[in-house]
Amino acid sequence: MCRMTGVRKAAARLGPLKRVLITGATGFIGRSLVAQLIDSRRFSIRAAVRRESREWPDSVERVVLGDLAPDSDWRMALLDLDVVVHLAGRAHVMREEAIDPLAEFRRVNVECTLNLAKQAAATASVRRFVFMSSVGVNGTATASVPFSEWDNPSPQEAYAVSKYEAETALKLLAAQTGLEVGIIRPPLVYGPDAPGNFGRLCRLVRRGLPLPFGAIHNRRSLVALGNLVDFIVTCMEHPSAANETFLVSDGDDLSTTDLVCRLAHAMGHRARLVPVPASALMAGATLLGKRELAQRLLGSLQVDISKARRVLGWVPPISVDEGMRRVTASQQV
């Protein structure tokens, strides 16, 4: 059974504020979303966490749930809510220890998600469920045409397969119950303290090491953390986001060469790039068993965000250069 901490506001005092539950609230995206909602002063925030957290003011109600499980009881956490933003899940695992990774991804990303959504749909107040999916549902690479929401899904990795299966289950639940489901598929998300490959690339650029990315002519869509958070809030509130799927990005695609140069510029120095052909880098990475990592650095993955612009009137509020500046500024503190 979950337990709640923090200051609870009486329903009569909520007024026009939207009441929102955020799962994965202490994660990379969740922390930034909570901070923005606090700053907006338009939301009553409930944060679902594994263990007690004191990183927010007491106006943020904490719901301590422990680890996600397919039979987790969300009833207390869902009391008197308008919106659920589901960010928690099992993401890319660098050192996989599960005997059956796909089964574990399904347990967390499909079964746990559907359990929460079913309980949300059964409440009298929750109207909308915003689900963080992945551009991996579309596939791992593009050629000449960017991914769009109208593509036939083609998930290649276990993580993406589980996200697609969760999307499918949520759409069926929405049709059966009337719960409004909004699905977001971001590409690589970058921002202060970004995990994974982007964080490693930042550290390499900051050290001023020569990097073999001086002749990479791919095109990749990225999304700044601030842009993604802004888009999540839009999907929480906009009437036309109900029962829709959206791709999201900065709207300014980069080559890996461009990315390194912009990072270095934001750090106040020039990139040290060696012009090694992409084919040679891919061959070397394949020999070292790093083909998947090389594909992320050397291949193209573009997304078309025209649906988000047209349906929601959404424009990325942060430029790529500003996003890079925020990354590097946080590392200098």
| Two tokens, residue 159 | 């993580």
Q: Is the pTM of this model over 0.85?
A: yes
- Tell me: the pLDDT tens digits for 163-207? 999 999 999 999 999 999 999 999 999 998 888 788 888 888 888
Contact predicate 225/264, CB 8 Å: no
313 pLDDT tier (thresholds 50, 70, 90): very high
Please state, rounded to an integer, the average pLDDT across all residues of the chain.
Answer: 89
Tell me, what amino acid is at 58?
A: D
- Tell me: the pLDDT tens digits for 2-58? 555 543 333 333 345 689 999 999 999 999 999 999 998 889 999 988 877 677 777
User: How far is the first Cα of the chain from the last one, in angstroms, to the nearest whole number?
Assistant: 39
- Tell me: the pLDDT tens digits for 120-162? 999 989 999 999 999 999 999 998 899 999 999 999 999 999 9
Q: What is the distance between the alpha carbons of residues 195 and 187, in angstroms, rounded to a whole number?
A: 14
Write out the catalytic residue numbers: 159
Q: What are the Cα distances from residue 225, in Å, to 7, 177, 222, 316, 322?
A: 28, 32, 10, 11, 11
pLDDT value at residue 11:
33
Put residue 107 in one of left, alpha, beta given phi > 0 → left and psi -120 to 50 → alpha: alpha
The H or E element that residue 286 is part of is helix 278-287
Domains of the chain: 3-191+223-250+301-318 (3.40.50.720)
pLDDT value at residue 12:
34
CA neighbours closer than 13 Å in the CB half-sphere of residue 239: 0
pLDDT at residue 97 above 80? no
pLDDT value at residue 297:
87
pLDDT at residue 78 above 90? yes
330 pLDDT tier (thresholds 50, 70, 90): low
Buried b (16+ CB within 10 A) or exposed e, 160-183: bbbbbbbbebbeebbeeeebbbbb
Dihedral in degrees, nearest 10, Cα atoms 54, 112, 9, 184: 90
Helix, strand, coil percentages for the chain (3-state, nearest 5): 40, 15, 45
Buried b (16+ CB within 10 A) or exposed e, 66-82: eebeeebebeebbbebb
- Burial label for 268, CB within 10 Å (0-12, 13-18, 19+), is exposed
